[in-house]
Amino acid sequence: MACVLVTGCSSGIGLETALVLARAGHTVYATLRNPDRGNSLRQRAGKEKLPVSIVQLDVDSDESVAGAIAAIRSEAGFIDVLVNNAGIERTGSIEELPWEAFRATMETNYFGALRCIRACVPEMRKRRSGCIINVSSVSGRIACSPMSPYTASKFALEAVSEALAQELKPLNIRVAIVEPGIITTPMAERIAESENESAYPHVRRFSRMFDAALAQPRPPSVVAEIIRNIVESGTWQLRHTAGPDAEPFLAWRKSMTDEQWVEWGALDDDAWHERVLADFGLDTRPKAEEKV
């Protein structure tokens, strides 16, 4: 059984991952930037009598990461597995989004993961054992509006993960990238509900796409089970897609040239909705009463 640190466990994929791993008998340190947001995790773990320890850890802060990891080490001895799950999203056009959106997504999704990796690797290297699981996204391989700050941060996370895997393989430390598609979590629900006054159509379209996708069940436990499998199987496979639409999304993008991909994103609204329906089976078209 492994000692596992998971970041971002207040909701969604992180919360489910903490529960799934604890149910399987692993020692879980579920970390949250704000432990006041841990009630759902506390209640669910308590109900099942799962030994989940909640620790404050803000991936944006050097001090918080160092303090949390030192505290876990002093209690558990060592961390076998690091799951970099914490993440944020910002949607909008490149012209209109504030700088904060680009900086914040990079800080949490890329530098935050890197901060935790750099804090855990020295001990893993000494022990010649460990596993680092980075929760990326299909957006780590597909770039499109209105997700540019998010996709940029996930592309960066994937790039550093590949390089890290090369560095750590000789040291017997595994690195895995998990790429979920659309999963029912507060993050996906926020994207489905997002609205803004924009000169560009993409936020509105993605809100419809997420809304249509979330009509089907896509529980975060699907991703948590993939993470559990990576921990327990000892696999050296680098990339792991997760959720019902992850492979189809990647295959869809792969079926187009770069120029066709740009054309798709540049279509007018009606043509875009028809393409998403024809190619992907998602009905994103506005209802008759919504049309002005």
Contact segment (CB under 6 A) with ligand NAP among 10-18, 72-80, 193-201, 273-281 equals: 10-18
User: Which residue in the set 88, 165, 231, 282 belongs to the binding site for ligand NAP (CB under 6 A)?
Assistant: 88
Candidates 215, 142, 145; CA nearest to 180 is 142
12 contributes a contact to ligand NAP by CB under 6 A: yes
37 contributes a contact to ligand NAP by CB under 6 A: yes
Shortest distance (Å) from residue 188 CB to ligand NAP: 4
74 contributes a contact to ligand NAP by CB under 6 A: no
185 contributes a contact to ligand NAP by CB under 6 A: yes
Told to judge if 29 belongs to the known catalytic residues of this protein, a careful annotator would answer no
The CA distance from 264 to 27, in Å, is: 46
User: Which residue in the set 58, 80, 158, 245 belongs to the binding site for ligand NAP (CB under 6 A)?
Assistant: 58
152 contributes a contact to ligand NAP by CB under 6 A: no
60 contributes a contact to ligand NAP by CB under 6 A: yes
Region of 3 on the Ramachandran plot (φ > 0 left; ψ -120 to 50 alpha; else beta): beta
30 contributes a contact to ligand NAP by CB under 6 A: no
Q: Footprint of ligand NAP on residues 232-291 (CB under 6 A)?
A: none
User: Which residue in the set 41, 52, 59, 152 belongs to the binding site for ligand NAP (CB under 6 A)?
Assistant: 59
Q: Which two tokens stand for residue 133?
A: 């699981």
Q: Which two tokens stand for residue 119?
A: 């804090």
Task: Tell me the residue type at 155.
Answer: F
Binding mask 114-143 for ligand NAP (x = CB under 6 A): ---------------------x-x------
Nearer to ligand NAP, 124 or 133 (CB): 133
Contact segment (CB under 6 A) with ligand NAP among 70-78, 122-130, 186-194, 277-285 equals: 186-194
Nearer to ligand NAP, 59 or 114 (CB): 59
**Contact residues for 233 (Cβ-Cβ < 8 A; gap 6+):** none
Q: Which two tokens stand for residue 191?
A: 């994207």
**Contact residues for 158 (Cβ-Cβ < 8 A; gap 6+):** 134, 136, 140, 141, 177
| Long-range CB contact pairs, 217-222, < 8 A, 24+ | 217/184, 218/181, 218/182, 218/183, 218/184, 218/188, 218/243, 218/244, 218/245, 219/16, 219/183, 219/184, 220/12, 220/13, 220/15, 220/16, 220/17, 220/183, 220/184, 220/185, 221/16, 221/20, 222/183
146 contributes a contact to ligand NAP by CB under 6 A: no
Shortest distance (Å) from residue 77 CB to ligand NAP: 24
Shortest distance (Å) from residue 95 CB to ligand NAP: 23
38 contributes a contact to ligand NAP by CB under 6 A: no
Spot the catalytic one: 29, 110, 150, 200.
Answer: 150
Task: Tell me the residue type at 46.
Answer: G
Binding site for ligand NAP (CB under 6 A): 7-14, 33-34, 37, 58-60, 85-88, 108, 112, 135, 137, 180, 182-183, 185-188, 220
